[in-house]
A and B are shown apart, each in its own frame.
Chain A
Amino acid sequence: MSEANNYNALLDKLSLQVSSFQEGFRILTESKSLKDIGKNFVHLLRGNLLVSDINLFQKRNENDEWKELYLQKPDSAEFINNLKTSEALNLNFEEELDYKVFATLRCIDNSYFGLIVGNKIDKTKFNSLDAITLQIFIRLLDNAYQTYVASIREKNLIFSLNHKVLQLNSLVDTGIEISKLENNTQLLELALERAVALTNASKGIMRIIRDDKVIATLRLPSTIDVAETLKSKDKIETQVDYRGYSYIVTLVDKESRSGTETFDNTDEILLTAFARQVHSAVENKELHREALENETIKKELSVASTIQKRIIPETLPEIEGYDLAGINISSKEVGGDFYDCRVLENGKIAMIMADVAGKGIPASLLVSSLSASLNAYLEMNIPLDELGAKLNKMIYNASTADKFITCYISILTPSTGELDIINAGHNPSLHLRKEKKLEKIEAGGVAFGMFDMGLPYQGEKRVIEKGERILMFTDGIPEAMNENEEEYSDERLEKFCVDNCFHSSDKFINELVADVRSFTKDTPQSDDITALYLIRK
């Protein structure tokens, strides 16, 4: 047969196989896994070449070991050294060996297929048509593998894009979620969980540090050894500082399907973003807490102010033969000072000056209790030392250990000017006698509510003569401070009393306040200013 005839015969035979090649390509490209590709390839080739066994191997790169992909005869692996790789398709026919065909194919991803083919079933030699058929099927395998690799890349790309969307979405969600959490530990735990998960870290640690000491450590998973985990070389770390606290977040061992890999820039950006969210959330929570606290204080002071206003008299009684004026200026919205002047049923006048330790509602309630008790006891006309003991017991029982009241009580008999006085730890009142002689009224006793030991309250009796004056006050006046933290002082107050003994009671009180203000200037008032001024005309 001539060479032309040979070619024509070959072409005729190949033409008959075209549909078989097309079907083969369809089957190979529709294979769902690499193993399926190998299995389908072997079956297709076996049917087309009519050979006893076909064995397919693969290696990931030039230097890798051959691994079986689909074997019909395990002993074929013994001939693996006959697989010689090259850039191009390498196809060798070996007449003398048990296996007759050895082929290798370099793939698109630089991996290799290795093919070891046994004898033909009819024991005939491989001919030109077989060689061409074999080459065509190996090319089909190559194309199918390219499709497979492309589909894997496409899947990975979609997965990766979805993961980026997830990272962004989670970053936004986490910011919102942690801002809603009341509990700081929950907030930090959630942030750590998200940072670990979204960077594919295997472990995560958050250490909270104050004054160079670790005061708390959060771990994910919760059972990991912190010291051991921090020794890892594959880690990223970030730190945020807020009001003396440092939050150090460490992510360890980035995972991949094949083990671990190195954290990349995106991971570091994500970690920093989570850390910033933690900073913002902690800061917002702190500011919110402070705002609530300020609001609570404002409300408390407002309530206390209402209580105080109800128990401090709006007007003082007119006492025939006397000129009386009083004032109370609270340092904040409300203080713990209190004064009162009331006409008793027996015609006597009770004048009270008190100062509670503390401010706000507790102080006001204590003053309120004192005022109510005084109302009851004063009308009982009991001796003042006995009254003092009763008030002490009542205040002691009604207050906490840090609360007590200093109190000055004097009962005036208007017709005679007689004064019956007790002083429970309060500033001595000043009695300006005629000819500008100033006396301190030192009647003694401990502050109400300080002790419940039956300590006596020794009263004092004295007379205010016509033209004489008495100033009752709280420590807010002598202890008022200027910008140099100097006090107005008892001495200046006593001098003021002597120097201003010609004013009416109203005028005296106003001048006294003006003098205190001229001393303190712009320094904020640190304590209540309270005074009662009595002149016997």
Chain B
Amino acid sequence: MVSEFKLSSEIKDDCVVISTTGYVNNLGGQKIVDEFESHHKNGLNSFIVNLAESKVVNSIGISFLIEVIEKLNDSNGKLLFTNLDPSVDKTFTIMGLFHYAEKADNVEEGLKLLTNHKE
């Protein structure tokens, strides 16, 4: 069953990888934005949100993710989602997130895509 929301992050090749666990809702979405802001203000502009352990996302959580996408668009940055559960993938597709963000099967593949994007 879905656990409480938790988050961790690491920087790989100038890219911030934010990995989440649990329900991405108001609380989870806010934590993602806070984590994003803490790195974005330091000039980092490439982000991966790894949702391997988050199978449930509500529309409030999505609105926070859109906020991240908009801020990165303003700063010519890039957001990429990885390890999406099929239902989350479909949710993001319907909500239009992939118009402005990309996705990859896993973090390694995501890092490669972001590196290619920088070049």
Contacts and interface: CB of A to CB of B under 8 A. Distances in A.
A32 B55 CA distance: 32
29 contacts: A32-B70, A159-B95, A162-B94, A162-B95, A163-B59, A166-B91, A169-B90, A169-B94, A170-B87, A173-B90, A189-B1, A193-B2, A193-B55, A193-B56, A197-B56, A200-B58, A200-B60, A201-B58, A202-B25, A218-B1, A219-B1, A221-B22, A222-B1, A222-B2, A256-B26, A256-B60, A257-B26, A257-B60, A257-B63
B68 interface: no
Contacts of A194: 87
B29 to A, nearest CB: 9
A159 B59 contact: yes
Interface residues of A, number: 29
Interface in B64-94: 66, 70, 74, 87, 90-91, 94
A218 B1 CA distance: 8
A334 interface: no
Contacts, number: 72
Interface in A275-309: none
A158 interface: yes
Contact of A200 (B2, B25, B95): B25
A257 B59 CA distance: 10
Given A221-B4, A222-B2, 20 more contacts: A32-B70, A159-B66, A162-B94, A162-B96, A165-B94, A166-B91, A169-B90, A173-B90, A189-B1, A193-B55, A197-B23, A200-B60, A201-B58, A220-B1, A221-B1, A221-B3, A222-B3, A255-B60, A257-B60, A257-B63
Nearest to B57: A197
Given A255-B60, A256-B60, A223 B55 contact: no
Contacts of A221: 1-5, 22-23
A255 B58 contact: yes
B95 A220 contact: no
Interface in A209-255: 218-223, 255
A168 B57 CA distance: 16
Interface of B: 1-5, 22-23, 25-26, 55-60, 63, 66, 70, 74, 87, 90-91, 94-96
A197 B92 CA distance: 13
A163 B3 CA distance: 24
A239 B84 CA distance: 32
A531 interface: no
A158 B22 CA distance: 27
A10 B96 CA distance: 51
Interface string A19-40: 0000000000000100000000
Contact of A166 (B4, B55, B56, B95): B95
B32 to A, nearest CB: 14
B60 A173 contact: no
Nearest to A260: B26
Contact of B94 (A166, A197, A218, A259): A166
A220 B23 contact: yes
Given A200-B25, A255-B26, A257-B60, A220 B2 contact: yes
A158 B96 contact: yes
Contacts of A80: none
Contacts of B59: 159, 163, 166, 200
Interface in A129-186: 158-159, 162-163, 165-166, 169-170, 173
Nearest to B24: A197
Given A159-B63, A222-B1, A196 B58 contact: yes
